[in-house]
């Protein structure tokens, strides 16, 4: 295969054809993605799987109307059929001459990266053995190792022509421990925007297995979480999900433009405690939400959303930035060529503060300490959101005490952001998968240890 | 896009490439989709697409390898076959790894196609989404915005074929409208969604969907955060369906055999209240998960899972069945990009006698749950811990009193199943793998202030 997924002259003809009935914007998005996953379950390497998909999505915009079609056939004939299917949204229209600005392709040559399957298998066995070594009560281990390689090409009627290649790799372990009180689970993952070899060089692989197994064992002694409003201290790292749900989604311009966000029409207003500076940044190292170009061909960038508690900007894609006459922000993403791009987060994090994490805990007479979160969900219109714990403890008299069973916490975004009353000087990021309108994309979340002075904990024990 | 005849020939050709004791299974699925999104009486987006996927499983001497591709392009499919063969060399040898042979059970007679599916024009489909938006807007003066009004349809066709003599063909049509709206009153904002689903456009009930959206986004206006307490909780049919899906997932023989199910080793035991009767029945045509064949090409059949609260069986694919020396329950679930594993397709909780209003009178004091959130973060299907965000209506003296929001309900799945005190008559056939009526569960924790 040539270094470009589709010949430049085919793309030019497709865009001309797409613009022929008076469109305002046309885009060709081509993608070739390969995945390789190996998994171990019940101490058996039960599956090695390889996936390959490629295709092209054609987007044509007439004012506020978007036509979209995609095909897995990269021939010119099939691409032009997709153009006609996408144009079906506009039955009539005058043809106009388009002024295409020719630019040379920006991007990189594809890399030929082979997966060492034998190394994958050996690593799975080691993860299994290390996890089981953590205690006799480890009853089951599932481990997975995978890499995806995604080449994209984006060209549009504004003359943009960009190609890119993205590698993402992940190692994950989930462990089940069996005790007198039933079954408990622990999960840990290491995931970076790198090749699998690079990831394995970068992280201590055995730590993934140890973390998962120790968490499952710890929870065998867990007590039911309390029920009711309490101070909540969230450890640096996966607590970034709090911001992803409490305000991240609500700052996506598609929700803003439709008035479906509690943060609409609030630029310049105080929306959080003074301690909160929130950033969405697709350029951070090799974090899980990092990329060079978004799926509309715009470079990833650093976007400050909340500065010292004041709302300063939203996140943008092409359609919303045109409608509101705003710059794009590199947040136009799509799951694959079969999906329309929309506004999505990249790596979303709150900047660290000044307090020692241990002082924040010592300064909390009673509450809960959340060390690991499992995910969350938000209604952007009302701001109500939940997030779940997978490792949490009681705080009694300023000290971390008994581990707690998994529970959800619930709050309202703007209220919770105003109740953040301590922020630590530590910081870390964790990988996650964000779902929105049926599309999943990889994201990073990060924060320092922080305290919310009161939040509803959804357990079953009296608070 | 290739014709299905050509795909069938390709699938058969790949299967015939098995040599010696090698086993090959090929699944192919093709979908033709149209999605229309309407916003403020304008088509916001129209998506038309055809897609195809091929998955190939190879088993050599008890070692399984898998590969898939999103095209039926000959070279890519051959590349996938070779990748699957290569992958099989690295798997652990497993005496139970094998492809299933036909078991002689005939497929049910099921009508999963609307014969008039292709009749409506694109203009009629757009008009339906616009009508939904207009009905919602007019439905109540407190509705301030229709966030989305969508029409989607798909025609899906698939094959499963293997070197062991399996050949199964399925074809289905779906049509679906959904709306989501925002309502405001006295500074409070609430949202709600509703839908109607059918095999084709003609079966869609736009008024039902619109009424559902309007009542769901307006009924909780003025909701307050409740005080924390223990309460009897009534689940709407939608919430019951979510609970059934979690329970059904734990009834997978794979989870049970590997010690990852809260019901492992509990066949014959009382795991739910005696009123609880649960089946997985993909031969029920009203179920959205209805299907002629499972993911390994065996004819789907009705499996009774819980009878009078007693656990009767787990759900098996051929691999988990072979491990126990029994027959598959034809419960292999998969897409073209994954290997099969056992799971539910069309769960149904048998209805009781009372409608939702009668359940409310029966409960006297408790809460009615209209929507939940955070299921993937707050429900652990292995330990059974259950904690989700909830909003709904407080019930006092057998009557709906006031709305509540920003609360959680919590318990464990095990306690919830035993605590089912009443089952309603109002079964709703929903998108997804489960359908059930309203149910009442005693002694759940409500967390608020």
pLDDT in tens, B105-152: 999 999 899 999 999 999 999 999 999 999 999 999 999 999 999 999
Asked if residue B52 belongs to a domain, the reply is no
Alpha-carbon distance of B438 to B235, in angstroms, equals 5
State the pLDDT at residue A103.
44
Q: Band of the pLDDT at B431, cuts 50, 70, 90?
A: confident
CA distance to A31, A99, A150, A166, B19, per residue, from A163 (Å): 10, 22, 11, 10, 42
Task: Test B228 with A228 for CB contact under 8 angstroms.
Answer: yes
A8-19 vs A76-87: helix crossing angle, rounded to 10: 20
- Give the A window 378-417 contacts with B, CB below 8 Å: 379, 381-382, 384-388, 405-412
Asked if residue B321 belongs to a domain, the reply is yes
CA distance to A59, A103, B51, B236, per residue, from A337 (Å): 10, 23, 11, 37
If you average pLDDT over residues B74-80, what whole number do you get?
A: 94
Question: Which among B324, B189, B345, B194 is positioned nearest to B267, based on CA atoms?
Answer: B324
| Mutation for testing the B interface, residue in A458, A459, A462, A463 having most B CBs under 10 Å | A458
Q: Per DSSP, what are the bridge partners of residue A61?
A: A25, A66
Provide the CATH topology of domain A8-219.
PmbA/TldD fold (3.30.2290)
Task: Test B122 with A88 for CB contact under 8 angstroms.
Answer: yes
Task: Test B406 with A338 for CB contact under 8 angstroms.
Answer: no
* Residues 6+ positions from A179 with CB-CB distance below 8 Å: A137, A220, A221
Alpha-carbon distance of B330 to B244, in angstroms, equals 19
Q: Tell me the pLDDT of chain B averaged across its residues.
A: 95
Please list every residue in chain A whose beta carbon sits closer than 8 Å to the beta carbon of residue B410: 225, 227, 407-408, 458-460
| Mutation for testing the B interface, residue in A381, A445, A454 having most B CBs under 10 Å | A381
Asked if residue B56 belongs to a domain, the reply is no
State the Cα angle at B75 between B71 and B78, rounded to 5°.
Answer: 90
Please list every residue in chain A whose beta carbon sits closer than 8 Å to the beta carbon of residue B193: none
Please list every residue in chain A whose beta carbon sits closer than 8 Å to the beta carbon of residue B145: 258-260
Asked if residue B103 belongs to a domain, the reply is no
Asked if residue B141 belongs to a domain, the reply is no
Nearest CB to A42: which of B258, B262, B338? B258
Percent of chain B with pLDDT over 90: 93
Q: What is the pLDDT of residues A393-428, one digit of tens each?
A: 999 999 999 999 999 999 999 999 999 999 999 999
Q: Tell me the pLDDT of chain A averaged across its residues.
A: 91
Q: Band of the pLDDT at A241, cuts 50, 70, 90?
A: confident
For the cut 80, the answer to whether the pLDDT of residue A106 exceeds it is: no
- Domains of chain B: total: 1
Asked if residue B445 belongs to a domain, the reply is yes
Task: Test A65 with B42 for CB contact under 8 angstroms.
Answer: yes
What are the φ and ψ backbone dihedral angles of A278, each rounded to 5 degrees?
Answer: -115, 135
| Contact criterion met (CB below 8 Å) for A117 and A39 | no
Asked if residue B397 belongs to a domain, the reply is yes
State the pLDDT at residue B4.
78
Residue bearing tokens 């357990």: A459
State the pLDDT at residue A240.
79
What are the strands of the beta sheet with A310-311, ordered from one edge?
A310-311, A302-307, A278-281, A347-350, A439-447, A428-436
Q: Domain residue spans in chain A?
A: 8-219, 226-462
Asked if residue B408 belongs to a domain, the reply is yes
Give the distance from residue B107's alpha carbon to the nearest chain A alpha carbon, in angstroms: 30
Q: What is the pLDDT of residues B286-341, one digit of tens each?
A: 999 999 999 999 999 999 999 999 999 999 999 999 999 999 999 999 999 999 99
State the pLDDT at residue A326.
96
CA distance to A12, A189, A241, B414, per residue, from A431 (Å): 38, 8, 10, 32
Task: Test A458 with B377 for CB contact under 8 angstroms.
Answer: no
Give the distance from residue A354's alpha carbon to the nearest chain B alpha carbon, in angstroms: 30
Task: Test B387 with A406 for CB contact under 8 angstroms.
Answer: yes
Q: Does the CA dihedral A322-A324-A325-A331 come out positive or negative?
A: negative
Q: How far, rounded to the nearest angstrom, does the alpha carbon of residue B286 sit from its chain's CA centroid?
A: 13
Chain B residue at shortest CA distance from A141: B258
ipTM rounded to 2 decimals: 0.90
If you average pLDDT over residues A122-145, what whole number do you get?
A: 97
For the cut 80, the answer to whether the pLDDT of residue B54 exceeds it is: yes
Percent of chain A with pLDDT over 70: 95
What are the φ and ψ backbone dihedral angles of B446, each rounded to 5 degrees?
Answer: -105, 120
If you average pLDDT over residues A362-367, what whole number do you get?
A: 96
Percent of chain B with pLDDT over 70: 100
Nearest CB to A258: which of B68, B69, B147? B147
């Amino acid at each position: 295969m040539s270094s470009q997924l589709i010949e430049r002259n085919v793309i030019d003809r497709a865009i001309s054809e797409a613009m022929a009935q008076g469109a305002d914007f046309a885009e060709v998005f081509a993608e070739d993605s390969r995945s390789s996953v190996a998994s171990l379950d019940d101490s058996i390497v039960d599956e090695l799987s390889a996936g390959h998909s490629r295709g092209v999505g054609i987007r044509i915009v007439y004012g506020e109307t978007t036509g979209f079609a995609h095909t897995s056939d990269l021939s010119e004939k099939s691409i032009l059929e997709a153009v006609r299917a996408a144009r079906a949204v506009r039955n009539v229209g005058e043809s106009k001459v388009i002024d295409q600005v020719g630019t040379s392709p920006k991007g990189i040559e594809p890399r030929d990266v082979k997966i060492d399957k034998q190394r994958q298998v050996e690593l799975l066995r080691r993860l299994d053995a290390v996890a089981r070594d953590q205690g006799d009560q480890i009853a089951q281990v599932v481990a997975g190792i995978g890499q995806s390689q995604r080449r994209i090409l984006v060209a549009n009627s504004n003359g943009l022509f960009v190609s890119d290649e993205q590698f993402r790799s992940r190692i994950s372990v989930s462990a089940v421990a069996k005790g007198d009180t039933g079954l408990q689970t622990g999960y840990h993952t290491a995931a970076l925007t790198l090749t699998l070899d690079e990831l394995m060089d970068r992280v201590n692989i055995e730590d993934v297995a140890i973390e998962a197994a120790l968490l499952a064992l710890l929870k065998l002694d867990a007590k039911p979480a309390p029920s009711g409003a309490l101070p909540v201290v969230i450890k640096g790292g996966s607590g970034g999900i709090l911001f992803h749900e409490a305000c991240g989604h609500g700052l996506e311009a598609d929700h803003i433009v439709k008035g479906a966000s509690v943060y609409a029409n609030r630029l310049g207003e105080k929306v959080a405690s003074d301690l909160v500076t929130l950033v969405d940044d697709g350029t951070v190292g090799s974090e899980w939400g990092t990329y060079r170009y978004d799926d509309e061909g715009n470079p990833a960038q650093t976007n400050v959303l909340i500065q010292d508690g004041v709302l300063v900007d939203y996140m943008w894609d092409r359609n919303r930035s045109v409608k509101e006459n705003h710059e794009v922000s590199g947040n136009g993403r799509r799951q694959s060529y079969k999906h329309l791009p929309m506004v999505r987060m990249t790596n979303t994090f709150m900047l660290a503060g000044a307090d020692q994490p241990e002082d924040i805990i010592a300064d909390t007479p009673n509450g809960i300490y959340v060390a690991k979160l499992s995910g969350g969900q938000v209604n952007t219109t009302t701001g109500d959101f939940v997030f779940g714990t997978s490792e949490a403890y009681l705080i009694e008299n300023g000290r971390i005490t008994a581990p707690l069973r998994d529970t959800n916490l619930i709050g309202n975004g703007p209220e919770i952001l105003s109740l953040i009353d301590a922020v630590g000087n530590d910081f870390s990021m964790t990988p996650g998968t964000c779902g929105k309108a049926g599309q999943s994309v990889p994201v990073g979340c990060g924060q320092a240890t922080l305290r919310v002075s009161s939040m509803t904990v959804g357990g079953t024990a009296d608070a | 896009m290739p014709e299905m005849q050509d795909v069938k020939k390709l699938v058969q050709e790949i299967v015939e490439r098995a040599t010696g004791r090698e086993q090959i299974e090929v699944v192919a699925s093709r979908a033709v989709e149209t999605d229309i999104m309407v916003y403020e009486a304008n088509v916001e987006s129209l998506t038309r697409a055809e897609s195809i996927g091929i998955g190939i499983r190879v088993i050599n001497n008890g070692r399984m390898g898998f590969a898939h591709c999103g095209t039926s392009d000959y070279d890519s499919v051959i590349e996938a076959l070779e990748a699957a063969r290569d992958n099989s060399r690295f798997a652990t040898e497993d005496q139970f790894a094998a492809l299933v042979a036909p078991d002689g059970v005939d497929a049910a007679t099921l009508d999963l196609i609307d014969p008039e599916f292709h009749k409506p024009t694109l203009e009629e489909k757009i008009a339906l989404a616009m009508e939904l938006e207009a009905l919602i807007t007019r439905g109540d003066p407190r509705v301030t915005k229709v966030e989305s009004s969508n029409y989607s349809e798909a025609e899906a066709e698939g094959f499963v074929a293997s070197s062991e003599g399996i050949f199964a063909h399925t074809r289905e049509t779906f049509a679906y409208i959904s709306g989501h709206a925002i309502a405001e009153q006295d500074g409070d904002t609430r949202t709600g969604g509703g839908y109607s689903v059918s095999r084709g456009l003609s079966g869609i009930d736009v008024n039902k969907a619109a009424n559902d959206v309007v009542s769901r986004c307006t009924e909780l206006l003025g909701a307050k955060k409740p005080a924390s307490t223990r309460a009897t909780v009534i689940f709407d049919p939608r919430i019951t369906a979510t609970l059934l899906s979690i329970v059904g997932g734990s009834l997978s023989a794979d989870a049970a055999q590997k010690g990852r199910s809260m019901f492992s080793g509990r066949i014959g035991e009382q795991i739910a209240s005696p009123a609880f009767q649960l089946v997985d029945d993909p031969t029920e045509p009203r179920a959205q998960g209805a299907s002629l064949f499972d993911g390994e090409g065996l004819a789907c059949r009705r499996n009774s899972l819980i009878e009078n609260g007693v656990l009767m069986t787990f759900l098996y694919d051929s691999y988990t069945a072979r491990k126990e020396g029994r027959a598959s329950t034809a419960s292999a679930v998969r897409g073209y990009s994954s290997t099969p594993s056992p799971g539910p397709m069309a769960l149904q909780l048998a209805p009781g006698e009372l409608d939702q209003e009668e359940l409310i009178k029966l409960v006297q004091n408790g809460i009615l749950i209209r929507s939940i959130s955070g299921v993937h973060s707050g429900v652990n299907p292995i330990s059974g811990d259950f904690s989700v965000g909830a909003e709904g209506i407080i019930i006092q003296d057998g009557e709906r009193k006031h709305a509540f929001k920003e609360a959680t309900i919590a318990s464990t799945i095990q306690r919830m199943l035993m605590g089912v005190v009443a089952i309603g008559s109002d079964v709703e056939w929903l998108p997804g793998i489960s359908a059930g009526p309203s149910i009442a569960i005693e002694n759940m924790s409500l967390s608020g202030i």
